[in-house]
A and B are shown apart, each in its own frame.
Chain A
Amino acid sequence: MSNESTTKPFAVTLEVGGSLLNKTGSWRSERPVYVDRLPPCNNACPAGEDIQGWLYRAEEGDYRGAWESLIAHNPLPAIMGRACYHPCQDACNRAQLDQAVNIHAVERFLGDLALSENWPAPVGASTSGKRVLVIGAGPSGLSAAYHLARLGHQVEIHEAGPLPGGMMRFGIPRYRLPREVVDGEVQRIVDMGVKLELGSRVDDIPALLESGGFDACFVAIGAHVAKRVEIPGPDVARIVDAVSFLHDMETGDAPLQLGRRVVVYGGGNTAVDVARTAKRLGADPVIVYRRSREQMPAHDFEIDEALEEGVVVNWLRTITAADEQGFKIEKMTLDENGWPQPTGEYETIEADSLVLALGQNVDQGILTSLPGVALNRDGVVEVGGDMATAYPGVFAGGDMVPAERTVTVAVGHGKKAARNIDAWLRGQTYSPPPKPEVADYEMLNTWYYTDAAQKVQPVLDAARRTATFDEVHTGLDAGNALFEARRCLSCGNCFECDNCYGICPDNAIIKLGQGQRFEFKYDYCKGCGMCAAECPCGAILMTPEST
């Protein structure tokens, strides 16, 4: 045999070779690219949390990592896991499959775990040497202080009240938010080196900025002045406002003698909170609201819970006068625009007292020290997109600026203000990173997800709900929390399911290993689009080739 015949197989005249010589990528007219789209939960979160991001870690059982990812945006997860109205869950794509992921409950689980394990919040390594004054220790002020501390600034909070927490303590009843949770999360912020001055009412901001050597200020004094309405009658002493009532409940000042029959006037969450609190004090509360249930601003589940506890609600009624026995009520009817119109029909409701829950205004006293800053027609302070007021170096947020008045919005304001204050202190302008496209349900391939019903939080039994201030909802246990975290569809963000790697008919995907995701081999990818079509979470985009 010749040399030649031993190096080549029998009858082969051409050099044999593998198919890798054939670069089939040249066939492609569209190219797949990996993208990170914006999950709808993240998009809906007023605090700007990366919910999908922290659930991703929780799915692995890495609760510490999940919590740290969570508090990169929100310093109050245990509070938020109770008090937030979770718009994330309203936006959750899983709701179209079975039920939304119980994000709220997992957040609370992580927040409670952090408190019981005493996990500290990270503090920014470098100190900027700048001092920032925060006025008000509500959710917005606490959030701003926390983020400023993380950014390396020295922060001092001045709070007029005797205890920190703002509306989290003086607005939200303890059966929804136990006070040790508030104390725990506030303490963690104080432990970062944030100075908290209680009982320190600020009247002259420029003066304090000067005397305290502050470089900037964030004002978040909330809206604590109750709106009132004139109700003619002989005994106005029996009329109190909701803010004072809930505040006195908290400070332990002799709980107001409301009597047995209490009328609560209003239809917001505060009205419901007052009624449920009165129920727990042994009263028989009746909520009177001038429009219908559909139009009540209170959240539906709160109204349901109040009704379950025996609170009575009279819709389409206004209170016109007080007399010796109680209150004169006029029936209303809705016109074609949904506005209540008087009917001329009256009835009397026997009651010992009336609580007005008609909303709150901002105390404008503090603003007089700031030239150019005043309440607008809606009774709130105008701020720019950067949360800055018209007074240089003074920013504002929370209930005192135009926005929805929730704890979560306030926390979001605090974060946003902190970032803008940080930039302002450096003589820069903060520009948030552009938002990617939202991952819609239509972008998902839901075949790959298993059906799994939501884990429901246990609810306290009815007897204890009406007689005690114990927390109504209990948390998930570790097993349930893990299950719930794993229900996340990871919308728009790769969760390394290997689908693209497995189903590519051309082996044109490189698996880079745990946590490293994947890469396309464009030399061989023919652009069939199967990877994009079969990606469960919509993290692959097909884009036209330029040539």
Chain B
Amino acid sequence: MTRTPDSEQRVKFYQTGTFTVGNRLLDDAQRTVQASVERANSIDSGHRACQGCGEALGARYVVDAALRAAGDKLIAANATGCLEVFTTPYPESAWRLPWIHSLFGNAPAVGAGIAAALRARGREDVRVLAQGGDGGTTDIGMGCLSGMFERNDDVLYVCYNNQAYMNTGVQRSSQTPPAARTATTTVAGSEPGNELNSGKSVPLIAMAHGIPYVATASVHDLHDLELKVVRAMEFRGARYLEVFVPCPLGWGSRPADTIRVARLATQSGMFPLFEAEYGEITASTKIRARAPVEDYLELQRRFAHVFKPENAHQLEALRQVAERNIRRFDLLADAEDSL
């Protein structure tokens, strides 16, 4: 099965497309959770995320959809990081669901503990979500995360990937892309920015655990993201969802461009959207309007140096990343699949 962006939606509206959040011509049930005035707004107004924060948006998308899928019976464990700091500066909190603070690296273990407690009390109706940024999840929390996966604890773990440690001042993480500038991979020397051929794919590591469900999503494609949350909530056991969330501050992009940057990341092949069940890839979201990698990079100051002639090899390396993703995850639509 392959999933084109609108294959789930039988009604096509040529004006509004099937890509907008809602549509006045559709029944409420067919619109996204975010289109509904009854959405949970799990992160309320007044949180202190920067202008145009992709993570604030991505987290609300995921948790609102998970709340609806769980019939509002959901507990969230949160790793330390931006998401925690901007939502919950003591004694305020923007969260509107049972939510527990944890350390930088142990949110998967805290989530697993909550799931164990619920099981012990026979509360199968209450579901558990654990979440964090890429630093807390893929670097510091990797051991806890792998443990949660291999024990197949009944937790949906969500990683909001903004590709660096933003809360502490934009330091490199294992998710920082090649050549990107951070506070610790400065633009200096013959290889400015982050090293090429570094980092790792945690979705693929999660798949290697054979857990029931692994998926990647992006804030620019809400329909796709919500479908994946709903699918994840249909499983019991360990599930992993990685959401691509641009960070205007850390990436040097305009706050207004957050969705656009995310869109170009997927349309250029730099961030592949796919799903896997029990270690096998089951679907990939096809590129709808292929964009050159440069279109994605030029919106972000962290990549400004790759456009200099002396760094042409870095630009080429980034192009190769996109090309490999496109091949590996089969991101181009077949002719007969295309709209």
Contact = CB atoms under 8 A, between A and B. Distances in A.
Nearest to A30: B256
A542 B54 CA distance: 20
Interface in B3-53: 6, 12-25, 31-32, 34-35, 37, 41, 43-49, 51-53
A452 B17 CA distance: 9
Interface string A491-512: 0000111110111111110010
Given A19-B87, A499-B21, A508-B45, A527 B15 contact: no
Nearest to B256: A529
Given A501-B35, A528-B51, A533 B92 contact: no
B57 interface: yes
Contact of B44 (A486, A507, A542): A507
Contact of B14 (A24, A447, A483, A526): A483
Nearest to B257: A533
Interface stretch (A8-16, A106-114, A161-169): A8-16
Given A16-B92, A497-B20, A498-B34, A527 B51 contact: yes
B199 interface: no
Contacts of A257: none
A447 B5 CA distance: 12
Contacts, number: 169
Contact size range, A:
35 or more
A119 interface: no
Interface string A24-63: 1001000000000000000000000000000000011000
Given A486-B13, A503-B259, A60 B57 contact: no
Contact of B22 (A22, A487, A497, A528): A497
Identify whether the interface residues of B are mostly helix, strand, loop, or mixed.
loop
Contacts of B19: 447-450
B122 interface: no
Contacts of A506: 45, 47, 49, 56
A450 B17 contact: yes
A514 interface: yes
A99 to B, nearest CB: 12
B99 to A, nearest CB: 12
Contacts of A427: none
B194 interface: no
Nearest to A32: B256
Contact of B93 (A19, A490, A495): A19
Contacts of A452: 12, 14
B35 A498 contact: yes
A237 interface: no
A524 interface: yes
Contacts of A23: 46
A498 B21 contact: yes
Contact of A490 (B15, B37, B255, B339): B15
B94 interface: yes
A304 B271 CA distance: 49
A530 B90 contact: no
Nearest to A13: B91
B255 A530 contact: yes
B60 interface: yes
Given A14-B90, A19-B47, A20-B45, A501 B12 contact: no
A52 B130 CA distance: 47
Given A19-B92, A495-B24, A498-B23, A447 B263 contact: yes
A523 B44 CA distance: 13
Nearest to A512: B37
A17 B15 CA distance: 43
Nearest to B18: A450
A505 B61 CA distance: 10
A488 B15 contact: yes
A1 interface: no
Nearest to A529: B256
A308 interface: no
A497 B223 CA distance: 13
23 contacts: A16-B93, A18-B44, A18-B92, A18-B94, A19-B48, A20-B45, A448-B16, A449-B16, A451-B339, A486-B14, A487-B14, A499-B21, A501-B35, A502-B35, A505-B49, A521-B45, A528-B52, A530-B255, A533-B256, A533-B259, A534-B259, A536-B17, A542-B256
Identify the 5 closest CB pairs spanning chains A and B, nearest first: A498-B22, A502-B21, A529-B256, A19-B46, A19-B94
